[in-house]
Structure 1
């Protein structure tokens, strides 16, 4: 039986004391690919921020990659984030460093010290996103799609148990979005669990998978054809 990597029970999520989501229940099993959809302002980002501990879980029970979100201490957050990979809409690459230096920065920040191991890991993750040839380029020399693939590679550096992708195609044109999705699906096909927030229904139709919808502060599963 697949292991549960994320579980939420009766969770209420607040932003500045304002209730955003109520009574959220969610289970994500190892190896799943799950979309979370919903209009702008429906709470997708607030949910994601709760999962990577940018927003404190105040009500309900939550467990992610063996961390209890309700009891999480500030000092635990870096360790939690090593076990999850986060991909943002706006790439969040360091503009003054090459692709390779962006990767080195993350590895050093997560306590890697062996140069040889670091180089091997960087080669491995860039290979996975088909970007071995760009490692010495600066982010501004890359297309939006290439930058997002670098961001996905960066999310894979610490071999995470779960990838949280928050609108990863939000700033990309349709063709590039498809290319980025193909990378995410390939990574999922290799056994990684992916939870992806999106409002791009065309992508969901093209790459169907389990889909949950946020609406009126609630989360529920939608049958594919009614999306």
Structure 2
């Protein structure tokens, strides 16, 4: 989560994105795109997805935006629309466009022009269809499982911070019980349900009960988004 610490202090989406990329580039990141927008009411297609507009911030080679390769992956071949349809919160480009699939050869060649061998993504979903997303590209296809988890978790904390700027999370800040906060804090520390149960002197079923209650109160899609949401609220 340290990757997102500086971004949490930012006053604008632009500044938050710049701070995050500054930290991520020290870990080898070559590309960043963040976006804050409303999900289109029409059927979700690559064209409708981009027509939704919103605030888009991009850190990339100067030649990349507007190039034929960029336009290809945005408008002609954009498999990432499936991630939004499925309400995914963490994923990689290659989850939806396998590197070894012939159908995506041109897709990866186009991304290669921006030195993107794969990208790790985070998406937060707020009220009234508001979506905040992050794409963080790396020149190395395999950055390692531990680093991947850290990058995606930090990315989700950043997208929760971007949600703050939309106002979609400020209408009703929930009250979490001490037990609910404790369980989320231990999850954020990488503990499993059994470990948390032993530490708190409760059963695994009770741990899951507290976590699920907290998730519902926070309006999170899953445990990971719940952790990111409380991290953004400075509750961890």
Short-chain TM bin = 0.3 to 0.5
TM-score, normalised to structure 1's length? 0.32
Q: Compare the two structures and name the one with the higher strand fraction.
A: 1
Which structure shows the bigger proportion of residues in helix conformation? Answer: 2
Q: Which has the higher contact order (CA 8 A, sep 6+)?
A: 1
Q: TM-score w.r.t. structure 2 length?
A: 0.31
